Amino acid sequence: MLRVPVSPDWADPSGLLGYVNPLGGEESFRGTLTLELLLRASNNPDKPYFLTLDEMNLARVEHYFAPFLSAMEGDRSSLVLHTAREAVDNVPNQIEWPRNLFIIGTVNMDETTHAFSDKVLDRAFSFELWDVDLPTWRAKAKDGGAAEETLAAIYQPLVDLHAALRPARRHFGYRTCNEILGFCSAVPTSARAGALDASVLAKILPKIRGDDSGPLPHALDAVGAVCKTHGLAGSAEKVAAMRASLQSVGVVRFSS
């Protein structure tokens, strides 16, 4: 199994498959870990291989993934690795599409990413992962050595904030919970309330953005109420300012 982070500047397949280097006299091939995985999969057809493309839509999938999309067509299609007529550095110009290769792409959909075309969607199964199991997170954090006192102090505020943001799909996941737990665990007990307020302000509120046409106004109101209930004064003040911005101009973001 190989995990490859996708780069926003990928405009062709060379980031995945490598390229023929014509410089320095005799041609050579600049390979990649993905290419090595593909060749191993091709040489071991009875063994499953997994390629995970992390943040797959930071670049345009149709550009850098084009050889893969073409190879997925037909029963015995080929994956083109390079355009030289012969093998270069023992890398053939194409291989039969390895049926034992499984490709997984993780994506986030926001203003920094690209949408998928039908050409991509037709060759994939799409799964939305929105659910967050906070009771199980708490149990695992305790098993991992987190202090019960700290967990007890932050757990209900996190549950309430998560419930307030979920209707607007601005809720948070396990990474945010873990970082808030670590932040609050690093301070004395007397400073924990302030640490929780600061971490909510720094980790949860910046991801709240959007316009007033959907559920966001109600979600902001709910978040403000949660912050007041749990004594998160700084966060409550920031939410109030964000709510005022949403009401006055119709859109809101953390930096407004």
Using one digit for the tens of pLDDT, what is the confidence trace for 197-229? 999 999 999 989 999 989 999 999 999 999 999
3-state secondary structure of 117: coil
**Encoded tokens for 181:** 């737990």
* 189 DSSP 8-state letter: G
pTM of the complete model: 0.80
End-to-end CA distance of the chain: 43
What element of type H or E holds 68?
helix 66-71
**Encoded tokens for 31:** 């390979």
Q: What is the pLDDT of residue 27?
A: 78
**Residue 73 confidence class, pLDDT cut points 50, 70, 90:** confident
DSSP string for residues in 132-168: --HHHHHHHHHHTT--HHHHHHHHHHHHHHHHHHGGG
Torsion angle, alpha carbons of 80, 82, 86, 92, to 10? -60
* 90 DSSP 8-state letter: T
C-alpha 157/C-alpha 145 separation (Å) is 21
Are the beta carbons of 150 and 122 closer than 8 angstroms?
Answer: no
User: How confident is the model over 179-200, as a mean pLDDT?
Assistant: 96
* 85 DSSP 8-state letter: S
- Residue pLDDT, tens place only, 110-162: 888 999 999 899 999 999 988 999 999 999 999 999 999 999 999 999 999 99
- Residue pLDDT, tens place only, 25-54: 677 889 999 999 999 999 999 999 999 999
**Encoded tokens for 224:** 């403000």
